[in-house]
Amino acid sequence: MSDPLRLGIAGLGTVGVGVLKIVRDQADLIAARAGRPVEVTAVSARTRDKDRGVSIDGMAWEDDPVALATRDDVDLFVEVMGGSDGPAKAATEAAIEAGKDVVTANKAMLAIHGQALAEAAEAANVVIRFEAAVAGGIPVIKALTEGLSANRIERVMGVMNGTCNYILTRMEATRQGYNALFEEADKLGYLEADPMLDVGGIDAGHKLALLSSIAFGTRVDFDAVQLEGIQAITLEDIVQARDMGYRIKLLGVAQMTGRGLEQRMMPCLVPAGSPLGQLEGGTNMVVIDGDSVGQIVMRGAGAGEGPTASAVMADVIDIARGIRVSTFGQAASGLRQVRAASSAVPAPYYIRMALLDKPGALAKVATVLGDNGISIHRMRQYDHAETTAPVLIVTHRTTRSALDEAVAGMLRTGVVAGDPVVLRIEEV
């Protein structure tokens, strides 16, 4: 058996504590699988004295994660602090410069600085692995980078923010509105310190940008992800969607089109009976279409101490075994800078709007759609006690740009109150 692999862990929150527990509880199993022991030699966190339910006795303490990352007795730097910049980035860069491999759960840092970090790692001949950054315990980074490496990837799709899926499925189950469930999620500790990371789709967008890079051999381009959060989704949208055989999911889709790479993270209607449509609560699902393999679906817990630590430690064991893979699956210099395509792939759309109670209002809206070349698949107008009447329209396949023009036209008619809700119907 070879020398132990010595970890330095920066961040002792949920994930860091989970990693410490696995190293402690599964030492024999890890040593057998890795072919060498794995041990934690040093840790760093905001607060030293705190009951974390796991002992850090015998491990060196560093207040400064940069100092931790560069210690001589650390072979591998485990970054589980989070935050796209600041200490996480500084310590990661220092680790790379000091010739240490890096395992991180930090989707924000990689989505924003991934290319630079990958290039630095390559120059220093170290690896950066980040299984825990996407879809929690689901080994999807490995599946995409290695398990499906012989495929030209056609599409990557997924529900990758458990908090949003929790809110959406609980809205349906409890018949409560968005605000009530947002508060419930907050009380349960499901929300990030900045809740927009979750409900604004930013966290899930970071994850999608990472998957895109691996899938299509492109430079991570988070800025090109079309982002929409779930804040505008009402209980009525959920009920109406369900009534038509759909469920609403915060769905990420990345695909290469003739016009460039399309990456979108937004609430969509998906068939209720599809695997994505059936996804409940905090569970994540990633769907990968490859030219040879067809469709692969992976499902599992998207967050939590155990699942996330499982992913971190899988990367650690890989490195202990001598598995060394380029950050995004190929040389960083070879990753292409591609054009971003915006909703190049046509789809049917769901539109909900409130019409003012004026004669001919519905006809005006329908005319605008027709003028923009959009045909209507279904339309429903409801009686309401209010002065406006809710109208739902499901269109046939159209482009987002045609739809956006139509919506602008509708607003100009003066019969639409407020902003219409427009949701793509994804054929999964």
**Residues annotated within a binding site:** 107, 192
Closest CA to 239 of 157, 352, 395: 352
Q: Which of 176, 231, 330, 367 binds a second copy (CB under 8 A)?
A: 330
**Residue 33 near a second copy by CB under 8 A:** yes
Question: Which window, 24-32, 39-47, 178-186, 222-230, contacts a second copy (CB under 8 A)?
Answer: 24-32
- Please give the size of the binding site for a second copy, defined by CB under 8 A: 58
Closest CA to 342 of 270, 403, 288: 403
Residues sharing a CB contact under 8 Å with residue 179, sequence separation 6 or more, in sequence order: none
Question: Which window, 96-104, 136-144, 157-165, 257-265, contacts a second copy (CB under 8 A)?
Answer: 136-144
**Residues annotated within a binding site for L-homoserine:** 192
Site string for a second copy, 296-325 (x = CB under 8 A): xxxxxx--x-xx-xxxxxx-xxx--xxxxx
Question: Which window, 222-230, 239-247, 329-337, 374-382, contacts a second copy (CB under 8 A)?
Answer: 329-337
207 noted as active-site residue: yes
Please say whether the beta carbons of 316 and 38 come within 8 A. yes
Which whole-number Å values give the CA distances from 39 to 6, 28, 75, 302, 313, in the listed order?
Answer: 5, 11, 10, 26, 11
Q: Which of 84, 326, 367, 413 binds a second copy (CB under 8 A)?
A: 326
How many residues are there in the chain?
Answer: 428
Choosing from 207, 249, 358, 364, which is the catalytic residue?
207
**Residue 294 near a second copy by CB under 8 A:** yes
Q: Which of 97, 119, 146, 192 binds a second copy (CB under 8 A)?
A: 146
At 256, the amino acid letter reads: M
For the packed helices 14-25 and 305-321, what is the interaxial angle rounded to 10 degrees? 60
CB of 247 to a second copy, least distance (A): 15
**Residue 35 near a second copy by CB under 8 A:** yes
Question: Which window, 57-65, 81-89, 135-143, 259-267, contacts a second copy (CB under 8 A)?
Answer: 135-143
Site string for a second copy, 50-79 (x = CB under 8 A): ------------------------------
**Residue 176 near a second copy by CB under 8 A:** no
Of 44 and 274, nearer to a second copy (C-beta) is: 274
**Residue 271 near a second copy by CB under 8 A:** no
**Residue 5 near a second copy by CB under 8 A:** no
By CB under 8 A, the residues from 199 to 258 that bind a second copy are 217
CB of 185 to a second copy, least distance (A): 20
**Residue 332 near a second copy by CB under 8 A:** no
CB of 353 to a second copy, least distance (A): 35
What residues are paired with 103 via a beta bridge? 78, 129
**Residue 133 near a second copy by CB under 8 A:** no
**Residue 30 near a second copy by CB under 8 A:** yes
CB of 161 to a second copy, least distance (A): 17
Q: Kindly report the backbone phi and psi dihedral angles of residue 19, in degrees, each rounded to the nearest multiple of 5, phi listed first.
A: -65, -45
> Tokens representing 118?
């990958």
Q: Site residues (CB under 8 A) for a second copy?
A: 18, 22, 26, 29-30, 32-35, 131, 137-139, 142-143, 146-152, 217, 275, 290-301, 304, 306-307, 309-314, 316-318, 321-326, 329-331, 334
Q: Which residues are catalytic?
A: 207
